[in-house]
Structures are given as structure tokens and as C-alpha cells.
Amino acid sequence: MKRPLVHPLDRNATEEAKTMADFYEETLGFTPNSLFTMMHRPRIANAFVEMNQAVMENKGRVTSSLKRLIAYLSSMTTGCRYCEAHAIRAAERYGSHEDKMNNIWDYKTYPAFTDAERAAFDLAIAASSVPNGVSDEVAENMRQHWDDGEIVEILGVIALFGYLNRWNDSMGTQLEKPAADDGEKFLSKKGWNIGKHEY
């Protein structure tokens, strides 16, 4: 794309934009351009932030780092370069081991991953595929390793990133430099590039 579909608001454009910018400084170290684009309609941005907080809240075994790896695989499946870079950056910031981040593509056989993680990753890929690929086998494997509340948390991450994948790929959101650097660091060896998200 020659330019984003809609340019983001300046972070200082409104008091609401400033408040949201502060929240995301902790999560990613910067506020995503995607959020400033949503701020053209503040209710959408506010609803997104509320959903994001609810989905990423930890209730037990589904850790912050695992949620970000699930988000990465979901985004990789849909092909959103912007969200892939954001998810892998957040995975590092929330404590994912570099060994896992460097071998996430081989999760089915790489020994650092547990069977429970593999089940969650299988669900992430199946649920992010079009048409949807969640089968009885994928579902039963999830039930063997996770309780109902945990499955809801995991699917919440996948669904949240489904929204973000469509938003950012369709918007052509410009990828911020810190996320681009992490995408290059962790993902480029598997073919990741900034794609349409550079202007």
C-alpha cells in the first residue's frame, strides 16, 4: 500500500489518546499505531482496550508469555506481519524463553514445549484458518490439557488477534520501529518481512 487506509491520530490529539498511550507504554514500550487509528472513534478504541485487558488477564496456568506465543501463531496463520511482530515482541517482554521463541515453528516436536502448549498452539492455528479448522480431535486434545475457563482464555486470545489481524492488514497500519526490530530479530529467518506496513 502507498499509505495506510486511515492515518492514526497524534498521541496528544485528545486526553483519551494520551491516557491510552500511557497504558500501552508498559505492554509494548510504545503505543501501537493501530490504537491511534481506532481513536478516530473513541468508543471502538475503548472497547478494544477493555477486551484486551480482559483477555490478557491471567487467571492461572495460561501465562502472559504463553498468550503472546498463541497470538503470534494465530497472526502467522492469517499472515498479518504487523501483529506477528507485535506478538513476538510482547512474548519477549512477558518472559518467553528465547529458546521457545526461536523454535516456535517446530513446537510439535521441539522438546522445550509441553503437550499442553502444543494443544493450545494446534487450536490457535486451526481456529485462525479460513475455513475454520477446529475439529473433534483438536477440541478433545484441548480438553485433555486445559479446563473450560482456560480454554475460554486461550480462545479469547485467538479471537482478539483475529480482530487485530483484520484491522491492521486491511488498514495497512505502519509498523513501529521497536516491533519491526523484534520481527527482524526473531522471525526473519522464517521469511517474515515488514511487507505492506512500511512507509
pLDDT per residue as tens digits for the range 147-194: 999 999 999 999 999 999 999 999 999 999 999 999 999 999 999 999
| Joined grid coordinates for residue 81 | 506481519
CA-to-CA distance for 171 and 100, rounded, in angstroms?
Answer: 30
The answer, yes or no, to whether residue 18 has pLDDT greater than 80, is no
Q: Residues 96-123: what's their mean pLDDT?
A: 96
Question: Of all helices (H) and strands (E), which one includes residue 41?
Answer: none
Work out how many domains the chain is built from and give that number.
Answer: 1
User: What is the value of pTM for the model shown?
Assistant: 0.94
CATH number for 72: 1.20.1290.10
Cα four-point dihedral sign 82, 84, 88, 94: positive
Flag whether 23 is in a domain: no
Flag whether 88 is in a domain: yes
Q: C-alpha 149: how far from its chain's center?
A: 20
| Joined grid coordinates for residue 197 | 506496513
Give the structural domain span for 135.
61-193
Shortest CA distance to 107 belongs to which of 95, 94, 97, 121?
121
